[in-house]
Structure 1
Amino acid sequence: MKESDRKSYLASITDRFVKGQMDRRAFLRATSKLGLGAAALGMGMGSRPFMLNKAVAQEEMQPSAEVMAWLKDVGKPFAGTTLKFATESTPPSNAINSQLKKYFEEATGIKVEIEVLPLEQVLQKMTLDVASSLGTYDLYYIDQSWAASFSQDVFDPREQIKAKADLAMPNYNIDDFLPALVDGISKYEDRWVGVPYDIPIFIMIYRRDIYEKLGLKAPTTFDELYTNSAAITKEMGPTTFGYAGQMKSGHYALECEWTAMLWGHGGSIFNPDKVFSGNDERGIAALDYYTKLRDIMPPGVNQWTWDGQGQAVAQGVAASMLSWGEFFPFFDDPTQTKVSGLCEAVIPPQPIALRKPEECGYGEIPGVGHQGGSSLAVSRYSKNPDAAWLFMQWATCADTQALVTTLGGGTGPTRASVYDDPRVKSHARVGAGTTRHLPVVRETIAEYMGSEPDLPEWAQISSDTIPVALGKYFAGSYGSSKEALDDIGTQVAAVLKG
């Protein structure tokens, strides 16, 4: 199939899926054959757990005078231009759209229209734009699983810096982006597919007060996570349980948590021969551990995505979870939860063993800190690429990220310098918009981050094959963990065969 035909067909089936004319399973199968990772689409994920810190927004968050002066000068030729950008609802997108873009618009005279949409609608608009080459959208929000598919449809920011020296932001410093995120999110082969924009990542969150009451220490190993959780459930159940999972059958959330358990037990999803290896000795041990942990979780956990998991901790039903770090500021907000000031964040439990990337297949990088992220890039089809490049630099510069981090509820920055910014550090206290968990996020990104395989069929495997079979296993449909994992291996092989 010609590349132009592939893009047109991809745009067509995405449009049909969004309009309800194609079911999720058929869509995943079709996109995998076209080389698009779409694991997170159509999963009913619900909103991510952040909100704007309104008190900060009213009091103190002002952009750098130097940045504004540069924008005012360099933006003059583009006054009157309108830029369009479609994005998922993320901390940076929401903070920029509702609180910060006015500063960019006032300085440059450039109007920025940001459409905050469900992820499948972002993909719909982007695929239609790429297929038509119309340039309706000037900037693309690129989920990490889409990097391979759209790597040729965006500018490599390194090329823009070299080719547009007169438009280069002073001290933009592209090397400030965390190297692990560049490699794990924003690169495909030798190209940068934008710059790291957003980074949800698994960290360990636990109830300090309950741990202290029972004489427990924060878990540093998987064995400690289980023994601590079992002790809490025994002592405080059925009111409070030791651990909450995200185990909804057939949902990507279940695959995410299982993957962290698998990597933490020295396993991997694929071996170097690109054969499913989640059913080897380490994989079986991981699922057996997950099963044992499941037995001391709250009833109903098999109906929870990360939304239910987070609410379990927020309402005092569970005392710990291994999950997305951006939950932490939500827990610290006394207007939203019952646990403000009672939670602590630590790095994920250390793996029993850890496979090296070269021992895996399809670019898989084992690590208990399961990550999911996105990049921001300028479209090659934009009618206003220079104006879009100015906006992209401003939206991802250190100053804007510092504002986003505080306004956006303590989300994890993608730049190293932002973690050390005094404005960010000043909010490392209990309360809405806290940043006191960010040192843990930073360390997890640098040392413990795990990245899923990169292959076209991963959308179907991760959002259908694996979580459906795991759901059946936890419902008792298999005789053993080995039987379940062997069946997953058989199904994965069939998907890869096509």
Structure 2
Amino acid sequence: MNERDRKQRLYVAEAGRLLRSGRISRREFMRRAAVAGFGFSAAGMLRWDMGNKVRANPVSANRRLYMQSDEMNSWLREVGGRFAGTTVRLSSESTAPSQITSDLIADNFTALTGINVQWEQTPLDQVLSKISQDTATESASNDIYYLDQSWLGRFALDIVDVRETYMNTDTDLNMPGYDFDDFIPELVPAIAEYQGTLVGVPFDIPIFIMVYRRDVFEELGLSVPTNMDEYLAVVRAINEAQLTNADGSRIYGTAGQWRSGHYALQCDWTAWLWSHGGSHTGPDNTVLINDEFAVAGAEYMLALGENMPAGATTWDWSGQGDAIGQGLAGIAIHWGEFFPGFDNPETSKVVGLMETGDLPQEKALRPASECSFDEVPAIGHQGGSCLALSRYSQVQDAAWVFLQWATSKETMALAAASSNTPVRQSTFDDPRVLEKARVVAGTTRHFPAILTAIKERMGTEPHFPSWADVSSTGAVIPTELGLMTTGAQDIQTTLNNIAAAIERAIEDDMM
């Protein structure tokens, strides 16, 4: 890394220390991180918000459902046992899968290998702070990194490419039956690779799906929309009907995550940008976000806004999810991570009423081959994370043994049975996951829609190093979009300003 990059990482690490001591706010930390070119993808921000709920209501593994194979146990004893007494360290956000995996370590990993694991679970700001400090100083204090998708370009040189170092060799350090090909193949380049380097192993994958009220559709005789024109027509029909819920609240056509200046607004916008043939980038590192296709996407977005509650411009993804759960929207394109909550009678007014459908077909779609920096246009916006092996670790082999166990079919299937979105193909067919595909809090009945979105409709933002600097909360893109969605600025001016900011960011990265 160059001196500028090193100083930026130390700046973020210091901001994390100030936040931890209460001397700056979370908002100020995010601002400082963005100044240094570090932001958080949709997954990161969702994990941050949901992590607060998980920490307040910890989850643990249902040990009765854990079925580690004899082959895995034998390998852990014989190969993992070589590293008995070694300690592997990692720091991650406190999410349901991280808590479930941690709960299994003592009896199912350490007892067999003798490898101790120190898994520190902290807010995501502290995860970034620790990784920034470690990599700036080339420290071995963490052996495994928990990487938000938006950080891949920044940390690609600080990790071990486990595909080249381990998987493509005949070493017995590779777990029998690990089956890396079982990870949904469309996910690997999107959330775990950077310019051909396998930065990490896929860990989670929030993604857009379409959800709608079955009772509203039945009452109005509506069909599930299959394309963009039909989707807008259905939204308008529901809104014009002015139906009400049992408590008297109105059912609007749709709901958005339109909070001005928030990254959620950028995520919302991408669905309409990409579905109308637009993209942020074009061939050879050009910027096309202000072309006629992007304008068409913005016009469509504003048309949807005419059929939302007025509060939509104050909602992030949680606000949109709460609005759907309270019955305020007849249809929406929303994060699949929120669907299990719609069947929770303690918090939802639409238990058993929400259904999923395939995302509507894009009106036009620019090929990924005509974009730059790994951007893949598609209506199903995704934001994922991965677990990566540190280049500076002094116990890389032991860490690789643990990383395989933590992301094995069995461990990840148990996390998915708690409704965490799967990243392995086999998990979708696991009996423990299928058993919860019914109306119940923590349902998995939305998983088929998730899988279709991942395999066929997944959209990925650009991955150039300073992307987070222009797209995250408080940055140029969501700030400019907020001016457009509130009527303070016209579409073309907004897109021109965004294009100029992206061009500057790319130029800075090329210096």
Q: TM-score, normalised by structure 1?
A: 0.91
Q: Secondary structure at the match of 1:312?
A: helix
Task: Tell me, yes or no, if structure 1 residue 487 matches structure 2 residue 497.
Answer: yes
Of stretches 171-180 and 305-314 in structure 1, the one that deviates more from structure 2 is 171-180
Change (3 A) 1:194 1:68: same
2:14 equivalent in structure 1: 16
- Aligned AA (1:12): L
Shift of residue 273 of structure 1?
Answer: 4.4
1:130 to 135, 140, 165: 135
1:85 equivalent in structure 2: 90
Task: Tell me, yes or no, if structure 1 residue 424 matches structure 2 residue 437.
Answer: no
User: Conserved in 1, the CA contact under 8 Å of 2:481 and 2:494?
Assistant: yes
1:252 equivalent in structure 2: 263
Change (3 A) 1:361 1:429: same
Of stretches 175-184 and 247-256 in structure 1, the one that deviates more from structure 2 is 175-184
User: Conserved in 2, the CA contact under 8 Å of 1:88 and 1:117?
Assistant: yes
User: Conserved in 2, the CA contact under 8 Å of 1:37 and 1:455?
Assistant: no
Q: Deviations over 1:210-234 (max 9, x none)?
A: 2112111222222222222222222
**Partner Cα separation in structure 2 for residue 30 and residue 475 of structure 1:** 29
**Partner Cα separation in structure 1 for residue 333 and residue 315 of structure 2:** 14
User: Pairwise mapping of residues 276-425 of structure 1 onto structure 2 (< 5 A)?
Assistant: 276-407=287-418, 410-425=419-434
- Aligned AA (1:426): E
2:79 equivalent in structure 1: 74
Query: Runs of 5+ in structure 1 lacking a partner?
Result: none
Shift of residue 431 of structure 1?
Answer: 0.8
Change (3 A) 1:44 1:411: closer
Change (3 A) 1:53 1:136: closer
**Partner Cα separation in structure 1 for residue 61 and residue 154 of structure 2:** 39
2:99 equivalent in structure 1: 94
Of stretches 344-353 and 160-169 in structure 1, the one that deviates more from structure 2 is 160-169
User: Conserved in 2, the CA contact under 8 Å of 1:198 and 1:412?
Assistant: yes
Shift of residue 278 of structure 1?
Answer: 2.1
Change (3 A) 1:213 1:375: same
- Aligned AA (2:194): Y
Q: Secondary structure at the match of 2:375?
A: coil
Of stretches 99-108 and 370-379 in structure 1, the one that deviates more from structure 2 is 99-108
Shift of residue 126 of structure 1?
Answer: 0.8
2:3 equivalent in structure 1: 5
Q: Secondary structure at the match of 1:47?
A: helix
Q: Secondary structure at the match of 2:365?
A: coil
Shift of residue 261 of structure 1?
Answer: 0.8
- Aligned AA (2:34): L
Change (3 A) 1:330 1:210: same
**Partner Cα separation in structure 1 for residue 403 and residue 264 of structure 2:** 31
Q: Secondary structure at the match of 1:167?
A: coil
Change (3 A) 1:328 1:48: farther
1:215 to 202, 218, 221: 221
**Partner Cα separation in structure 1 for residue 316 and residue 192 of structure 2:** 26
Q: Deviations over 1:92-122 (max 9, x none)?
A: 2232124566422333232222222222211
Shift of residue 365 of structure 1?
Answer: 0.6
Task: Tell me, yes or no, if structure 1 residue 457 matches structure 2 residue 466.
Answer: yes
User: Conserved in 2, the CA contact under 8 Å of 1:177 and 1:415?
Assistant: yes
- Aligned AA (2:497): D
Task: Tell me, yes or no, if structure 1 residue 231 matches structure 2 residue 237.
Answer: yes
User: Conserved in 2, the CA contact under 8 Å of 1:57 and 1:99?
Assistant: no
Shift of residue 415 of structure 1?
Answer: 1.5
User: Conserved in 2, the CA contact under 8 Å of 1:43 and 1:251?
Assistant: no
Of stretches 334-343 and 288-297 in structure 1, the one that deviates more from structure 2 is 334-343
**Partner Cα separation in structure 1 for residue 500 and residue 59 of structure 2:** 51
- Aligned AA (2:432): R
1:205 equivalent in structure 2: 211
**Partner Cα separation in structure 1 for residue 100 and residue 333 of structure 2:** 26
2:49 to 46, 50, 54: 46
Q: Secondary structure at the match of 2:92?
A: strand
**Partner Cα separation in structure 2 for residue 384 and residue 105 of structure 1:** 15
**Partner Cα separation in structure 1 for residue 270 and residue 158 of structure 2:** 31
1:104 to 99, 106, 109: 109
Of stretches 87-96 and 211-220 in structure 1, the one that deviates more from structure 2 is 87-96
Q: Deviations over 1:15-41 (max 9, x none)?
A: 23322566644542332xxxx565567
Q: Secondary structure at the match of 2:332?
A: strand
Q: Deviations over 1:117-173 (max 9, x none)?
A: 222211110121122222111111111222222222222122223457222211111
- Aligned AA (1:440): A
User: Conserved in 2, the CA contact under 8 Å of 1:457 and 1:495?
Assistant: yes
Q: TM-score, normalised by structure 2?
A: 0.89
- Aligned AA (1:493): E
Query: Runs of 5+ in structure 2 lacking a partner?
Result: none
Task: Tell me, yes or no, if structure 1 residue 186 matches structure 2 residue 192.
Answer: yes
Shift of residue 66 of structure 1?
Answer: 3.9
User: Conserved in 2, the CA contact under 8 Å of 1:50 and 1:326?
Assistant: no
* Percent of aligned pairs with the same amino acid: 42
Q: Secondary structure at the match of 1:203?
A: strand
- Aligned AA (1:469): E
1:263 to 274, 279, 296: 274
- CA RMSD in angstroms comes to 2.6
**Partner Cα separation in structure 1 for residue 274 and residue 363 of structure 2:** 9
**Partner Cα separation in structure 2 for residue 411 and residue 50 of structure 1:** 14
- Aligned AA (2:130): K
Change (3 A) 1:139 1:332: same
1:196 equivalent in structure 2: 202
User: Conserved in 1, the CA contact under 8 Å of 2:60 and 2:100?
Assistant: no
User: Conserved in 2, the CA contact under 8 Å of 1:429 and 1:436?
Assistant: yes
**Partner Cα separation in structure 2 for residue 24 and residue 199 of structure 1:** 22
Of stretches 463-472 and 143-152 in structure 1, the one that deviates more from structure 2 is 143-152
Shift of residue 338 of structure 1?
Answer: 2.0
Of stretches 366-375 and 17-26 in structure 1, the one that deviates more from structure 2 is 17-26
Change (3 A) 1:320 1:56: farther
- Aligned AA (1:423): R
**Partner Cα separation in structure 1 for residue 477 and residue 178 of structure 2:** 41
User: Conserved in 2, the CA contact under 8 Å of 1:50 and 1:330?
Assistant: no
Shift of residue 258 of structure 1?
Answer: 0.2
**Partner Cα separation in structure 1 for residue 114 and residue 148 of structure 2:** 29
Shift of residue 48 of structure 1?
Answer: 5.9
Q: Deviations over 1:379-430 (max 9, x none)?
A: 12222222211111011111111111003xx222211122222222222222
Aligned residues: 489
Of stretches 261-270 and 69-78 in structure 1, the one that deviates more from structure 2 is 69-78
**Partner Cα separation in structure 2 for residue 462 and residue 489 of structure 1:** 12
